[in-house]
Amino acid sequence: MNVLKRIKSGTPPVILGDGYQSFDFVYVDDVVEANILAMEKGVTDEAFNIGGEEEASVKDVVHALLEFTSSNLTPEFKLDEEVTMQRRVGSSQRAKRLLGYVLTVPLGFVS
């Protein structure tokens, strides 16, 4: 069950490992916009990283979701679970240069 569903049901969200694995989260509307830009530019056979250019840990995202939902739940850490990906952060600079992609919805809580 995903984090928001667990929070909504009153069940503590689960974080695999220590939660310090980090990713470049991006709002779905920005991904849609990048795809529309690629279609409008007639881009074919190209690959682009589409990201928010802000790195955030899983732990920080879960705590932000708990705060945004006014939940008093405490995440459950599964420290014995193997976490294969520790960090995944891309650069959207190529998409910016070739498509005109610009992030419109920043994560907001990353410092």
Q: Tell me the C-alpha distance between 50 and 35, whole Å.
A: 9
Q: Mean of the per-residue pLDDT values for the chain?
A: 92
Which pLDDT does position 110 carry in this prediction? 58
Q: Could you tell me the CA-to-CA distances from 36 to 42, 64, 108 in Å, in that order?
A: 10, 30, 24
Q: pLDDT tens for residues 43-92?
A: 989 999 998 878 899 999 999 999 999 999 999 999 998 899 999 998 99
Q: Tell me the C-alpha distance between 74 and 12, whole Å.
A: 6
Q: What is the mean pLDDT of residues 22-33?
A: 92
The reported pTM is: 0.79
Query: Would you identify the CATH topology of the domain 3-99?
Result: UDP-galactose 4-epimerase; domain 1 (3.90.25)
Q: Domain locations in the chain?
A: 3-99
